[in-house]
């Protein structure tokens, strides 16, 4: 029997920031689905329907379909607290406004023949290697090297003498392991602030736009290569430049998106910065020409793959696209490492650094993403009917009233992440975009302030209230550093009728859920537990279905009784359970004891 004082909100859940699903994509603020399993196990039973309307990459759905197994820690914890949970899949309904979010969740969760997928992926990479692998091959002293990464540096203009300053030469401080914001002009020796120097631009013919364009001038500096098993780096040589020139003459595939950032001219959004986004008017301006051609060609070939594996192949390419294939890809310094460390983009931003990294996409997908995809795709043994995923706004759902057993959801935290901008680049490749009219965020570029945010959140909670069964639970992950945003969220939840019953902390950084130990805890997301109460305080006469009484009794019986004899023996006690539920929820009592026993017999004691 459940210990009435303990709920999953009380104790921390250890969950790793790793694993094939977590590593498969870089969607901002994703939650590790393992963190959610405990909540679903506690608040639902097998076959129940779990909903997440801000589902992002589908963590709630993945947790729901993973409830047929439990890790030893949760098992131990539930045993300690006498929680009689039931293993078995729950059904999931997931919606999100963003097509790339639902594309990711479908690619991971929906069933696929893993063997066929692996064969198709290997074939795709082999064919691309044959077609365009030459773009990463360079001859050096009679030896063919495979390029793994190239470091590019921006060129700045000295405001004093107009000298073109290569940031690599003056700004990368290997001794102090830092990228400098101030440096000395190598020509006139003036001390300069980087922010006071203009970026040098160059005129090019943009053959996606079919017109002349201007872009920030970048030069290749360091090249990381591989020969056989030997890996090393060297300075850029003449043959690297010759290769780049040959690539300049190679046409860009039709599949490369030709789309204005956010469909706007000039300052295209909240994340636009006039400095490092100089010349970045369209999606393709985030890439080097080489990587644009490679991605375009991979995409083109994936589109020709059999339908049964096509989306997963496109997902494989997407998973390496934004995070590792644009000019946002970085090198960083780390305390424990002597030299520069190669990494991906800065998640949650569209930041283009003064030093950027061009990675070998075919190699990266093959070595980093393919294994993950195969592992992740094999994890979920689902039937199509177990999970329903759709792209729509939570403010207007096509889901029936009182049909959902539990909600776990993670809405945008006010102004923190502008998802429609963050997702725009990948959505441009998909050719499907977020309709951001109802995006629940605070964002100047969209003309949405706190009042608009609160209204959107209220509409969202009102829909969640409508579809949740009465008496059932919802967990909402939230955080913001501004009290007004907090209050707007809490008020909108309460105003539509939810009653707050619990709180806890989710540490997305460490990927774990932590108990509230200190009132001063900051910087971690809070999980708010609410219930949909049986509305008014006055006694209400409702049908059995409307007040969910048999669902409730079925939970109690399943948790506490092993045989029909035991139920029969305890029927008086069960009548008390019934009465206590009805009274607590302000329902008039529908059955006297005799009629209740009849119902009990029909529902639980029949052969």
Ligand X SMILES: C[S@@+](CC[C@H](N)C(=O)[O-])C[C@H]1O[C@@H](n2cnc3c(N)ncnc32)[C@H](O)[C@@H]1O
- Residue ranges binding ligand X (CB under 6 A): 27, 29-31, 53-54, 56-57, 59, 95-98, 101, 393-395, 410-412, 419, 438-440
Encoded tokens for 459: 């509409």
Q: Which helix (H) or strand (E) holds 165?
A: strand 164-166
- Of 53 and 353, which has the nearer Cβ to ligand X? 53
- Of 101 and 470, which has the nearer Cβ to ligand X? 101
Cβ at position 391, least distance to ligand X in Å = 9
Q: 3-class SS at 453?
A: helix
Instruction: Give, as one character, the DSSP assignment of residue 53.
Output: S
Cβ at position 398, least distance to ligand X in Å = 13
- Of 227 and 451, which has the nearer Cβ to ligand X? 451
Cβ at position 394, least distance to ligand X in Å = 4
Can you give the three-state secondary structure of 219-256, one letter per residue?
Answer: EEEEEEEEECCEEEEEECCHHHHHHHHHHHCCCCCCCC
Greatest alpha-carbon span in the chain = 99
Buried b (16+ CB within 10 A) or exposed e, 551-580: bbbebbbeebbeeeeebeebbeebbebbee
Can you give the three-state secondary structure of 45-77, one letter per residue?
Answer: CCCCEEEECCCCCCHHHHHHCCCCCCCHHHHHH
Sheet holding 387-391, edge to edge: 387-391, 91-96, 49-52, 404-409, 468-478, 525-531, 499-507, 512-514
- Phi, psi dihedrals of residue 184, rounded to the nearest 5°: -110, 135
Cβ at position 66, least distance to ligand X in Å = 14
Cβ at position 58, least distance to ligand X in Å = 7
- Of 393 and 480, which has the nearer Cβ to ligand X? 393
- Of 278 and 458, which has the nearer Cβ to ligand X? 458
- Of 324 and 393, which has the nearer Cβ to ligand X? 393
Instruction: Work out the number of other CB atoms within 10 angstroms of the CB of residue 534.
Output: 19
The CA angle 491-495-500, to the nearest 5 degrees, is 70
Encoded tokens for 175: 């001794």
Q: Which helix (H) or strand (E) holds 149?
A: strand 143-157
CA 495 to chain centre: 29
Residues 61, 410: contact at Cβ < 8 Å?
Answer: no
Cβ at position 57, least distance to ligand X in Å = 4
Q: 3-class SS at 416?
A: coil
Cβ at position 525, least distance to ligand X in Å = 9
Cβ at position 255, least distance to ligand X in Å = 24
Cβ at position 30, least distance to ligand X in Å = 4
Tell me the torsion sign for CA atoms 291, 292, 298, 302.
positive
- Of 306 and 523, which has the nearer Cβ to ligand X? 523
Cβ at position 59, least distance to ligand X in Å = 4
Q: What is d(CA 66, CA 40) in angstroms, rounded to the nearest whole number?
A: 10
- Of 433 and 575, which has the nearer Cβ to ligand X? 433
Q: Nearest CA to 110 among 434, 397, 383, 448?
A: 383
Cβ at position 374, least distance to ligand X in Å = 21
- Of 221 and 466, which has the nearer Cβ to ligand X? 466
| N residues, the chain | 607
Q: What is d(CA 309, CA 116) in angstroms, rounded to the nearest whole number?
A: 7
- Of 57 and 512, which has the nearer Cβ to ligand X? 57
- Of 411 and 529, which has the nearer Cβ to ligand X? 411
Cβ at position 104, least distance to ligand X in Å = 8
Residue closest to ligand X, measured at CB = 56
Q: What is d(CA 415, CA 394) in angstroms, rounded to the nearest whole number?
A: 18
What contacts 590, CB < 8 A, 6 or more positions away?
Answer: 541, 544, 549, 582
Q: How far is CA 285 from CA 15, 76, 277, 501, in A?
A: 38, 52, 9, 49
Q: What is d(CA 457, CA 414) in angstroms, rounded to the nearest whole number?
A: 10
- Of 25 and 199, which has the nearer Cβ to ligand X? 25
């Amino acid at each position: 029997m459940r210990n009435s004082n303990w709920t999953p909100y009380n104790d921390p859940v250890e969950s790793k920031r790793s694993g094939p699903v977590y590593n498969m994509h870089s969607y901002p603020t994703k939650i590790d689905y393992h963190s959610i399993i405990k909540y679903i196990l506690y608040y639902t039973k097998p076959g129940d329907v779990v909903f997440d309307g801000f589902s992002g990459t589908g963590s709630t759905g993945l947790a729901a379909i993973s409830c047929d197994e439990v890790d030893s820690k949760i098992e131990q914890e539930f045993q300690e607290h006498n929680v009689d949970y039931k293993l078995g899949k729950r059904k999931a309904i997931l919606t999100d406004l963003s097509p790339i979010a639902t594309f990711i969740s479908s690619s991971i969760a929906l069933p696929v023949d893993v063997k066929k997928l692996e064969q198709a992926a290997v074939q795709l990479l082999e064919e691309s290697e044959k077609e365009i692998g030459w773009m990463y091959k360079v001859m050096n002293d009679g030896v063919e090297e495979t390029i793994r990464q190239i470091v590019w540096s921006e060129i700045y203009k000295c405001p004093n003498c107009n000298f073109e300053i290569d940031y690599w030469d003056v700004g990368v401080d290997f001794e102090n392991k830092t990228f400098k914001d101030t440096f000395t002009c190598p020509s006139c020796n003036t001390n300069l602030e980087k922010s006071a120097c203009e970026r040098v631009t160059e005129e090019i013919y943009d053959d996606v736009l079919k017109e002349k364009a201007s872009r920030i001038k970048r030069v290749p500096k360091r090249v990381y290569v591989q020969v056989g098993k030997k890996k090393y780096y060297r300075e850029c040589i003449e043959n690297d430049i010759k290769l780049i020139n040959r690539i300049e003459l190679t046409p860009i595939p039709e599949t490369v998106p030709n789309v204005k950032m956010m469909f706007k001219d000039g300052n295209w959004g909240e994340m636009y910065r006039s400095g490092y986004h100089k010349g970045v008017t369209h999606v393709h301006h985030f890439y080097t020409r080489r990587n644009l051609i490679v991605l375009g060609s991979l995409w083109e070939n994936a589109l020709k793959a059999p339908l049964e594996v096509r989306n997963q192949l496109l997902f494989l390419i997407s998973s390496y696209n934004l995070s590792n294939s644009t000019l946002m890809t970085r090198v960083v310094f780390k305390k424990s490492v002597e030299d520069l460390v190669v990494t991906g983009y800065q998640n949650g931003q569209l930041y283009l650094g003064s030093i950027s990294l061009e990675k070998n996409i075919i190699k990266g997908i093959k070595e980093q993403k393919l294994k993950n995809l195969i592992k992740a795709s094999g994890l979920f043994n689902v039937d199509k009917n177990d999970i329903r995923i759709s792209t729509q706004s939570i403010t207007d759902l096509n889901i029936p009233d009182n049909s959902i057993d539990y909600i776990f959801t993670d809405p945008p935290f006010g102004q923190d992440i502008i998802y429609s901008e963050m997702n725009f680049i990948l959505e441009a490749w998909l050719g499907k975009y977020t309709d951001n009219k109802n995006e629940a965020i605070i964002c100047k570029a969209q003309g949405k302030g706190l009042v608009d945010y609160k209204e959107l959140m209220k509409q969202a909670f009102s829909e969640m209230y409508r579809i949740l069964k009465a008496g059932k639970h919802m967990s909402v992950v939230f955080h913001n550093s501004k009290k007004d945003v907090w209050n707007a969220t809490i008020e909108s939840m309460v105003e539509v009728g939810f009653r707050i019953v619990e709180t806890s902390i989710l540490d997305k950084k460490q990927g774990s859920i932590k108990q509230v130990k200190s009132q001063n805890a900051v910087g971690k997301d809070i999980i708010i537990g609410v219930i949909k109460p049986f509305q008014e305080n006055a006694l209400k006469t409702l049908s059995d279905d409307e007040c969910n009484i048999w669902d409730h009794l079925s939970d109690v019986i399943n948790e506490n009784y092993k045989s029909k004899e035991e139920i029969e023996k305890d029927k008086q006690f069960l009548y008390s359970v019934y009465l206590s539920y009805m009274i607590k929820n302000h329902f008039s009592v529908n059955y006297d004891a005799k009629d209740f026993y009849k119902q009990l017999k029909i529902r639980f004691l029949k052969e």
